[in-house]
Amino acid sequence: MSECLKITSLVAGYGTTVILEDINLEIPEQGSLAILGRNGVGKTTLLATIMGHTTLHSGSILFNGRAIEKLPVYERARLGIGYVPQTRNIFPSLTVEENLMVAAYGSGDWSLDKVYDFFPRLLERRGNFGNQLSGGEQQMLSIGRALMGNPKLLILDEPLEGLSPIIVDGLMESIRRLLEDKLTVVLVEQSARRALQSTQDAMVLDRGRIAWEGHSNYLLEHPDELSTILLAGA
C-alpha cells in the first residue's frame, strides 16, 4: 500500500522558536495514527505544520507523493487534507447548512446529504446558527465541514475535549466509521486508551521529539510501558 503522508527530518515551530525537531513518520493510505503525549510537547504544532499554519525550518512533507511543505494552507486543503482544529472554528453567524456548504469542494463521495446521514443531529439543526449549537453539535459541524472538502487525509486535534461522556462515545463511534470509509486519519487525543482503540498505529511525542512509535495494540496491551513513556520527560 502506498504512503498517504510522509514526513522527513522535520524541524518546525512559530517564527524563530523551534517546537518540533527531527520528526519522521509515514502513514499508508487508509492508515490511522494516534499522536499521544503530555500537554505542551508539540502535538498540536505537528498537526498545524502538516496543514501549513507554522514556520517550517527544515525537512519535507509529502502528501500522496507530492511535496507540500511550501504550499499555502488552501492548496493543501484542495489537495485533500481535512483539518478539524482543537478550537473547532465554525462560523457562529452562519447556519449549520451554510457552514457546511461554504466548505464544499471536490467531486468525491462526501456531500451535504451524506454528512447529514452521518450526523443526523446536524440535519435536525440545519437552520440553526453556529452560536446556537451545543459543544457536541459544534464538533460534529467542524468534522462535517472538513468532510465536505472530500479529504483523503483527515486530521483531528482533540475532538473530544470538553464534551460529555455520552457525546464522546458517539463521536468516537463516528471516528471509527470514518476509518472504515477509506480515509487516512491522524488523531490527537488526551484519552490515550480511546485513541489507541480507534487507530492502527501510535506515536508518542516528548519535548518536540518522537519518544516512541509502533502499533497501537502494543500500547493497549502494555499500559505500564505507555505510562512510563508519558512520564519519562515530566
The CA-based diameter of the chain, rounded to the nearest angstrom, is 49
Mean pLDDT, residues 132-159 taken together: 94
Q: What pLDDT, in 10s, does the model give residues 96-123? A: 999 999 999 988 889 999 999 999 999 9
pLDDT confidence tier of residue 232, bands split at 50, 70 and 90: low
Reply yes or no on whether the pLDDT at 233 is more than 60: no
Q: What is the model's pLDDT at position 58?
A: 98
Tell me which residue range forms the domain holding 83.
30-40+77-231
Q: Which amino acid is at 223?
A: P
Give the CATH number of the domain where residue 154 resides: 3.40.50.300
Instruction: Encode 180-228 in three state secondary structure.
Output: CCCCEEEEECCCHHHHHHHCCEEEEEECCEEEEEEEHHHHHHCHHHHHH
Please state, in angstroms and as integers, the Cα–Cα distance from residue 203 to each residue in 27, 50, 214, following that order: 11, 15, 7
Using an 8 Å Cβ cutoff, are 34 and 221 in contact?
no
Reply yes or no on whether the pLDDT at 198 is more than 70: yes
DSSP 60: E
**Domains of the chain: total:** 1
Residue 66 lies in a domain: no
Residue 25 lies in a domain: no
Q: What is the model's pLDDT at position 175?
A: 84
In 3D space, the residue among 4, 12, 64, 61 whose CA is nearest the CA of residue 30 turns out to be 4
